[in-house]
């Protein structure tokens, strides 16, 4: 059968079906949508519906509005893509208006994706695209598969698309998650698993968004199964301290409807906020809030008040907000240490240890790869200790010339050696009296000075060069190293006795690549740099995604520099993915969903080109040089078509060296 014949038949089927009384179940959903297409939108099933893209700037607005969700959804969308990509599906996340704000699909088929509209910026609203999984899901507020000839437009009938809605904690539609493929078996049943998988992922994203939005509230998680309540968390209810409900996930809202008291004739359902947890569960608020989080009884059973059904409950308490009798005044002096990390397991252990050690009269050795924040840790230890009103004095033993380090550390008397200051100099050790002396790169300290330092630590007194009497000092030394001091000891380059003096306790910092709180660090550093610059730029979601996708080797300094660069190249208002340095962008381009969207969306002529930035020119130029101006190789590396590369070269004014005229 030729395509045009099947398309003609499709049009006839639609018209015939609409002349019959309505169908059942999902068939009814599709029929209702077909009716809307004709009656409300005035669409014609035989008329081609070319993919429509919103312009680049509009797409950015849609992405900005969906930014919170996009950040939470990223991991879920990527996991879904990994699951379905081998079967030929692409993944789209659209906003509530049907505009694709995230896309993951095979790069090799990019042209086809763009032609069909399975791409960033495409408009899948029903009013434009006709009956389709996304548009019809938005209208019907339900998950569905739009398989082959379910589509209204004859031009979409080779597609199979499955979509599920994502609602916000108040039941408003937030987004639609969709998977689509060009080839699939003829029967719609073949998509049953697809539908379950998309619904499951949409619920995961919805719940992750819920937990993030209401992270400052107590959240009651309920399930009918004791075994699954901690994993499934089927029903989520955010409550105030007095038990009144502030939000519920989709399943939670259904549970409330199920347990609503019978309504009087014509009566309205109780507004969501009028619920209290004790209206739902046969329990007092205090009992629910007392469910322990970290013991064997963290799952507790309750009857529901109305139907006497058993539900198992766990509680997620807001972080750092102690409640009731266990309330203790928060120790604000710990703030400098707490600010170093968010939710990284090894940092959490390190910080707990640091908090215990901060006022102990022992020296501390901080270990970790270069740029992992050892000096930050030393400062935070000092600032959170009782010594914080006294000086924090830092010296980098590797950076000061060997000839100066002795006088820098120990100071000297007037005229004690050639080049000494005429009035003498107080050394750094004496300057740190009462406070903290930070010895960075201690492994680089010359052996002879190690002996003198050992004496200072043992005697708590320092003898300046040329002085006859030592000066008493009260010191806490924090030393840092990225080297293995035991190896240096074995090689005879570090004194073992000094090692034990310095290593009263040790703290090890994990490399950036292993940290689970990268997004926290990114936000922290970005905010700091913003403050330094006196600016108020914001970091857009696509830049954050690229930074998170980049395989950071180990160094926070590198991240710091990347953000500094991005702020310098950005327009001052926001930092977008194109403002990031080349290395981060490479991690980004290897990742199909995180590409800067707008210029590629313009390939079909629907989106205007993005204003070129110097960085974009620089990136392309460097890629061209790397590949000796082989356009195919550059196109492959950047995941773009050859014509796109030529178009960009023209737009950015890049001329190959072997041509004297413009390309
Ligand atoms: N927790 C943090 N939050 C924000 N910025 C941080 C954090 N930790 C480190 N940085 C930044 O990362 C960079 C490196 O930090 P720091 O100098 O403390 O590392 P280091 O391990 O002492 O480095 P080196 O090994 O080179 O001496 C600095 O720019 C610092 O501001």
Output the pLDDT for position 463.
Answer: 87
**Strand partners for 492:** none
Cα separation of 526 and 566, whole Å?
A: 10
Contact 385, 377 (CB under 8 A): no
3-class DSSP state for residue 611? coil
Whether 379 and 364 have beta carbons less than 8 Å apart is answered as no
Residue with token string 């939710």: 343
- Which CA distances in Å does 32 have to 25, 26, 139? 11, 10, 10
Q: Which of 264, 326, 260 is nearest to 294 (CA)?
A: 326
pLDDT at 559: 92
How far away, in angstroms, is 534 Cα from ligand 1 center? Answer: 21
**Ligand 1 near 376 CB (within 6 A):** yes
Separation CA 442–CA 464 (nearest Å): 20
CATH topology of domain 216-261+271-316: Beta-Lactamase (3.30.450)
CA-atom Rg of the chain in angstroms:
32
**Assigned CATH class of 345-509:** alpha beta
User: What is d(CA 271, CA 253) in angstroms, rounded to the nearest whole number?
Assistant: 11
Provide the pLDDT for residue 265.
64
Task: Provide the token pair at 609.
Answer: 């080109």
pLDDT at 603 over 60: no
List all residues 6 or more positions away from 4 whose beta carbon is below 8 Å from its beta carbon: none
> Ligand 1 atom closest to Cα of 368?
21
Tell me the average pLDDT across 4-17.
79
CATH 3.60.15.10 fits 3-197, yes or no: no
Q: Compute the distance between CA of residue 468 and CA of residue 476 in angstroms, rounded to an integer.
A: 24
Does the pLDDT of residue 596 top 50, yes or no? no
CA distance 663 to 648: 11
Provide the angle, in degrees to the nearest 10, between the axes of the packed helices 541-549 and 56-65.
Answer: 80
Looking at residue 281, the DSSP 8-state letter turns out to be B
pLDDT over 80 at 592, yes or no: no
Nearest residue CA, atom 13 of ligand 1? 557
Closest CA relative to residue 101, chosen from 545, 618, 411: 545
**Pairwise CA distance, residues 185 & 607, whole Å:** 34
- The answer, yes or no, to whether any atom of ligand 1 lies below 6 A from the CB of 270, is no
DSSP state, 141? T
Measured distance CA(590)–CA(645) in Å, rounded: 17
Residues 136/144, Cβ–Cβ less than 8 Å? yes
Q: What's the pLDDT at 329?
A: 52
Instruction: State the DSSP code for 122.
Output: B
Q: CB of 146 within 8 A of CB of 131?
A: yes
73 pLDDT above the threshold of 60:
yes
Q: What percentage of the chain carries pLDDT values higher than 70?
A: 86
Of all atoms in ligand 1, which is nearest to the CA of residue 509?
21
User: Mean pLDDT, to the nearest integer, of 347-363?
Assistant: 92
Going from the Cα of 147 to the center of ligand 1, the distance in angstroms, rounded, reads: 53
Q: How far apart are CA 127 and CA 571, in angstroms?
A: 36
Q: Relative to the CA of 559, which ligand 1 atom is closest?
A: 12
CB 164 within 8 A of CB 146: no
Sign of CA dihedral 404, 409, 411, 412: negative
399 vs 121 pLDDT, higher one: 121
Count the residues in the chain. 663
* Backbone phi and psi for residue 364, each to the nearest 5 degrees, phi listed first: -125, 135
Q: Tell me if domain 3-197 and domain 216-261+271-316 are identical in fold.
A: yes
d(CA 382, CA 380): 5
State in Å: Cα 558 to ligand 1 middle: 9
pLDDT of 589 > 50? The answer is: no
Which H helix or E strand runs over 313? strand 310-316
Indicate whether residue 338 lines ligand 1 (CB < 6 A). Answer: no
Q: Residue 376 CA: which ligand 1 atom is closest? A: 18
Share of the chain above pLDDT 90, in %: 44
Assigned token pair, 137: 């899901």
Query: Is residue 219 within 8 Å of 180, Cβ to Cβ?
Result: no
Q: Which two tokens stand for residue 142?
A: 């339900």
First to last CA, the chain: 46
CA-CA-CA-CA dihedral for 318, 319, 325, 330, to nearest 10: -140
When pLDDT is averaged across residues 436-455 and rounded to a whole number, the result is 91
Per-residue pLDDT of 180-208, as tens digits, reads 999 999 899 999 999 999 999 999 999 99
Residue 477 CB-half CA count within 13 A: 26
Q: Which of 218-232, 297-311, 398-412, 426-440 has the highest mean pLDDT?
A: 426-440
Task: Please name every residue paired with 245 in a beta bridge, in sequence order, or none if there are none.
Answer: 239
**Cα separations (Å) of 254 from 235, 249, 250, 288, 452?**
9, 9, 6, 20, 73
* Residue 639: partners with Cβ closer than 8 Å, 6 or more residues away: 107, 110, 589, 590, 592, 595
Structural element, H or E, at residue 575? strand 574-575
Closest to 409 (Cα-Cα) out of 395, 391, 389, 423: 395
pLDDT over threshold 90, residue 448: no
Across the beta sheet with 173-181, the strand order is: 100-104, 89-95, 173-181, 160-167, 144-147
Task: State the number of CA atoms in the 13 A half-sphere of 434 facing the CB.
Answer: 5
Chain-centroid distance of CA 210 in Å reads: 15
Residue 325 has pLDDT above 70, yes or no: no
CA-to-CA distance for 414 and 422, rounded, in angstroms? 5
Residue 5: what pLDDT? Answer: 61
Query: In ligand 1, which atom is closest to the CA atom of 378?
Result: 18
Pocket test for ligand 1, best of 337, 375, 530 (most atoms within 8 A of CB): 375
What number is the average pLDDT over the span 448-462? 89
Compute the distance between CA of residue 254 and CA of residue 193 in angstroms, rounded to an integer. 24
pLDDT at 663 over 60: no
Average pLDDT of the chain is 84
Q: How many other CB atoms sit within 10 Å of the CB of residue 317?
A: 15
Q: Supply the DSSP symbol for 21.
A: P
Q: Which single residue is written with the structure tokens 């910092």?
A: 509
Contact 436, 477 (CB under 8 A): yes
Ligand 1 in reach of 340 Cβ (< 6 A): yes
Pocket test for ligand 1, best of 369, 376, 443 (most atoms within 8 A of CB): 376
* Cβ 431 under 6 angstroms from ligand 1: no
Q: Which two tokens stand for residue 515?
A: 């940290």
CB atoms under 10 Å from CB of 82, counted, come to 11
CA 509 to chain centre: 21
State pLDDT tens for residues 474-513: 999 999 999 999 999 999 999 999 999 999 999 999 999 8
Structure ipTM: 0.98
Of 133-142, 328-337, 392-401, where does mean pLDDT reach its minimum? 328-337
pLDDT tens across 360-388, in order?
Answer: 999 999 999 989 999 999 999 999 999 99
- pLDDT mean over 520-528: 93
Nearest C-alpha neighbor of 53 from the set 440, 579, 609, 497: 609
For ligand 1, say whether the CB of 440 is within 6 Å of any of its atoms: yes
pLDDT for 327 equals 42
Return the sign of the alpha-carbon dihedral for residues 60, 61, 62, 63. Answer: positive
Q: Which has more confidence, 127 or 349?
A: 127
Q: Please report the pLDDT score of residue 360 as a whole number.
A: 93
Phi and psi at residue 226, in whole multiples of 5°? -60, -40
Q: Domains of the chain: which residue ranges?
A: 3-197, 216-261+271-316, 345-509
Atom number, ligand 1, closest to the C-alpha of residue 371 = 23
């Amino acid at each position: 059968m030729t395509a045009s014949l099947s398309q003609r038949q499709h049009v006839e089927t639609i018209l015939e079906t609409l002349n019959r009384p309505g169908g059942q179940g999902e068939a009814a959903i599709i029929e209702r949508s077909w009716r809307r297409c004709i009656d409300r939108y005035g669409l014609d099933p035989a008329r081609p519906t070319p993919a429509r893209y919103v312009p680049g700037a509009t797409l950015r607005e849609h992405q900005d509005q969906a930014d919170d969700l996009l950040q939470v959804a990223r991991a879920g969308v990527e996991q879904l893509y990994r699951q379905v990509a081998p079967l030929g599906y692409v993944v789209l996340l659209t906003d509530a208006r049907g505009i694709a704000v995230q896309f993951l699909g095979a790069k090799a088929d990019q042209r086809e994706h763009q032609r069909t509209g399975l791409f960033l910026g495409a408009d899948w609203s029903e009013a434009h695209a006709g009956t389709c999984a996304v548009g019809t899901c938005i209208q019907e507020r339900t998950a569905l598969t739009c398989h082959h000839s379910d589509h209204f437009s004859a031009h979409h009938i080779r597609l199979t698309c499955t979509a599920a809605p994502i609602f916000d904690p108040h039941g408003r539609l937030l987004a639609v998650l969709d998977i689509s493929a060009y080839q699939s078996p003829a029967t719609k049943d073949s998509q049953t698993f697809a539908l379950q998988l998309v619904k499951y992922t949409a619920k995961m994203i919805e719940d992750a968004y819920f937990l993030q939005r209401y992270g400052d509230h107590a959240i009651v998680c309920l399930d009918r199964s004791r075994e699954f309540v901690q994993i499934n968390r089927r029903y989520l209810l955010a409550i105030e301290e007095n038990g009144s409900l502030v939000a519920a996930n989709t399943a939670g809202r259904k549970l409330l409807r199920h347990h609503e008291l019978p309504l009087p004739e014509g009566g309205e359902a109780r507004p969501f906020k009028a619920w209290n947890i004790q209206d739902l569960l046969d329990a007092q608020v205090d009992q629910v809030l007392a469910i322990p989080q970290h013991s064997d009884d963290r799952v507790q059973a309750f009857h529901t008040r109305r139907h006497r059904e058993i539900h198992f409950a766990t509680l997620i308490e807001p972080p750092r907000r102690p409640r009731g009798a266990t309330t203790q005044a928060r120790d604000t002096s710990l703030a400098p240490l707490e600010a170093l990390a968010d939710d990284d397991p090894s940092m959490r252990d390190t910080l707990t240890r640091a908090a215990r050690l901060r006022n102990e009269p022992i020296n501390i050795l901080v270990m970790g790869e270069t740029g992992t924040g050892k000096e930050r840790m030393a400062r935070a230890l000092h600032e959170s200790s009782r010594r914080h009103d006294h000086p924090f004095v830092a010296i980098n033993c590797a950076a000061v010339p060997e000839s100066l380090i002795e006088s820098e550390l120990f100071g000297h008397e007037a005229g004690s050696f050639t080049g000494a200051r005429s009035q003498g100099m107080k050394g750094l050790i004496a300057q740190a009296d009462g406070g903290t002396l930070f010895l960075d790169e201690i492994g680089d300290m010359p052996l002879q000075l190690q002996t003198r330092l050992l004496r200072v630590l043992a005697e708590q007194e320092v003898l300046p060069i040329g002085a006859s009497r030592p000066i008493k000092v009260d010191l806490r030394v924090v030393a840092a190293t990225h080297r293995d001091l035991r190896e240096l000891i074995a090689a005879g380059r570090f004194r073992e006795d000094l090692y034990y003096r310095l290593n009263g306790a040790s703290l090890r910092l994990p490399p950036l690549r292993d940290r689970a709180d990268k997004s926290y660090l990114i936000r922290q550093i970005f905010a700091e740099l913003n403050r330094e610059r006196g600016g108020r730029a914001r970091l857009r979601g696509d830049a954050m995604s690229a930074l998170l996708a980049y395989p950071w080797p180990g160094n926070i300094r590198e991240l710091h520099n990347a953000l500094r660069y991005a702020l310098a190249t950005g327009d001052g208002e926001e930092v977008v993915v194109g403002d990031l340095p080349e290395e981060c962008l490479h991690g980004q381009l290897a990742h199909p969903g995180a590409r800067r969207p707008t210029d590629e969306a313009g390939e079909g002529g629907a989106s205007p080109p993005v204003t070129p930035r110097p960085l974009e020119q620089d990136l392309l130029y460097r890629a061209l040089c790397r590949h000796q101006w082989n356009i195919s190789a550059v196109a492959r590396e950047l995941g773009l078509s050859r014509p796109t590369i030529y178009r960009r070269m023209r737009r950015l004014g890049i001329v190959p060296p072997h041509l004297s005229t413009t390309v």
